[in-house]
Amino acid sequence: MEGVEDQGIPLHEAYSKYSGILRSVFRFKQFRKNQLEAIAATAAGRDTFILMPTGAGKSLCYQVPAIVQKEEKNAITVVISPLRSLISDQVAALVAKGVKALGITSETNDSVVYKSLFSRESRPALLYCTPEKIQKSTPLHNGLVHLYRYGRLALFAVDEAHCIFTWGEEFREAYRSLHTLRDDFPEVPIMALTSTASPEDVAHICRRLKLKNTRVVRQSVNRANLTYAVKHKRRGELFDDIIGFLEESHRGHSGIIYRTGRRQCERLARLLAKKGIKAAAYHGGLTDQESKSIHIKWKKGIHRVIVATIAFGMGIDKKNVRFILHCDLPKSLENFYQETGRAGRDGKPAECVLYYSFQDKKTILDLESWSQDGRANPALDDKVAKVVQFCEEKSICRRVLLLQHFGEAFDRKDCGNGCDNCMHRARLVSRDFSAEARLAIALVQGFENGTRGNITVRQGVELFRGRDTLNTRKNGRRHNMHYGAGAALSHDLATLIFDRLLKLNLLVEFKVYTNGSKYHYYIKVEASLYT
């Protein structure tokens, strides 16, 4: 997978032209793997797709040639970036190095835009903006047309290009409209950069941006310093598991805990604070000032843990993140890879743990359905199914599964016990639970006449194990002839049996609306088993 397809100018020529900037401006003695190859391809003036893992130095692939283009032609490189905070960080870092760079956001005065684009003396080497600004700002568009007319537009660099098929579909329509760059400025080369894309995603991005004769620069997306583990999420025990993980394995370390909803983030952050762990909640409901303050305090170490939705993470440049916890199911393996990629950017070991329950699948799909006014999304269904498959696999190396998804072959022996499946391989045993599964199905079947009421998955597990609870006593549920049939099984094992029956569609869930938009999920035997 590694290397450059259809390389540009010769590498020795590229090195001679660009290595001085690398040393004098960025203070690096040599290019990292594939950086020079990417720059050589870009220098040839052709469209480029760059796929490199987090921390590989993707930004230098356009920053170095941008400085040369400014010196030689007084031309601008335009960088499209998804977040204002990310734009601010990158511009500040360049300015600190003496590079003329400008970030254009909704707060930027139009006169500043005009001056930077129309005035030869004020022209920056790099101009950063959001896709929305490209789409909606008349001053910016007019300025770019002016530069294009006089041959002063060097490159469009679309950073975090995976937003075109992830965030682009869900939150950022403007990312999906960036094909207008090719329509409006057909002779300007375009570079797309990301750390997360399957072969299908690469093709999709190239089509969406209308890239032509694309040179693809790619390298392994394996992060050797990260370990991956999936743990069964036990209802009522998750918080204790998190505390044990933090105190036993990561006392004093910095990390991120991902949750699906705002209220979940805030509640967990409060509970952690009560345990003396400095934590803050981060989600899309915060003001710009609040989110900026939390981010700064976390980078400085004032906050040890951030409990966040996916609104937090893109563009994070904190090197010493030692752990990433997912307490809910990611909606895709791309999301999972992106979010775990925030750990260990200093190259030192970091842990990535995903707490999994099959029930999380319907939570993710319900949230997506709600956000899309109830419309089905088969593509998302398929992505979530792949995450479920990743979680449920107990014998195949997690790295093999993850990298295979991104079109990369990986030899399990190179994992080095870097995932739970490889670490526990010797303990793996096989056992047939088909008899217990049939009894579980019979138990559920016994509630389908409606006289004892519908049951949830959780209640089914309790009844199967013969638990004496308020739920099992309700409506005489314990009179079911298969009550307690799985009494010899642990809670985890019984839950896994029910989860597997649901995954195989031998049991199915159905909604019952209770009041307005409120509803509960109950289980029943799949109809085809009766025929």
**pLDDT interval class at 375 (50, 70, 90):** low
Of 440, 477, 470, nearest to 455 (Cα)?
Answer: 477
Query: Domain containing 387 — which CATH number?
Result: 3.40.50.300
Is 50 contained in some domain? yes
| Domains contained in the chain, number | 3
Tell whether 144 and 34 lie within a shared domain: yes
Tell me: pLDDT of 178 over 90: yes
Contacts of 88 (CB under 8 A, 6+ apart): 103
Tell whether 238 and 207 lie within a shared domain: no
How far is it, in rounded angstroms, from Cα 282 to Cα 269? Answer: 9
CB 235 within 8 A of CB 456: no
Tell whether 207 and 261 lie within a shared domain: no
Tell whether 206 and 298 lie within a shared domain: no
User: Domain range for residue 352?
Assistant: 226-392
Q: Where are the alpha helices (DSSP H) in 44-128?
A: 60-73, 84-96, 110-118
What does pTM read for this prediction? 0.77
Is 204 contained in some domain? yes
Q: Answer with the one of 186, 218, 250 that is the final residue of a domain.
A: 218
Q: Which helix (H) or strand (E) holds 439?
A: helix 434-445
**pLDDT interval class at 168 (50, 70, 90):** very low
* Per-residue model confidence (pLDDT) at position 350: 97
Q: Provide the token pair at 73.
A: 């032609």
Of 390, 419, 395, 404, nearest to 227 (Cα)?
Answer: 419
Span 219-243, pLDDT tens digits: 888 999 999 999 988 877 899 999 9
How far is it, in rounded angstroms, from Cα 463 to Cα 452? Answer: 13
DSSP 8-state class, residue 455: -
Rg of the chain (C-alpha set): 26
Tell whether 250 and 386 lie within a shared domain: yes
Tell whether 327 and 180 lie within a shared domain: no
Judged by average pLDDT, the poorest of 30-34, 120-124, 366-370, 466-470 is 366-370
How are beta strands 48-51 and 153-158 bridged, if at all? unpaired
The mean predicted confidence, pLDDT, of the chain is: 86
Is 397 contained in some domain? no
Tell whether 234 and 163 lie within a shared domain: no
Q: Provide the token pair at 392.
A: 């449920």
Q: What is the mean pLDDT of residues 245-269?
A: 94
Span 377-400, pLDDT tens digits: 666 677 888 898 899 888 889 999
Is 413 contained in some domain? no
Highest mean pLDDT pick, 107-111, 322-326, 364-368: 322-326
List the beta bridge partners of residue 492: none
Tell whether 325 and 447 lie within a shared domain: no
Tell whether 46 and 154 lie within a shared domain: yes
* Per-residue model confidence (pLDDT) at position 170: 47
Q: What is the mean pLDDT of residues 130-138?
A: 89
Tell whether 102 and 247 lie within a shared domain: no
Tell whether 387 and 360 lie within a shared domain: yes
What DSSP assignment string belongs to 472-501?
HHGGGGGGSTTTTTTTTS-HHHHHHHHHHH
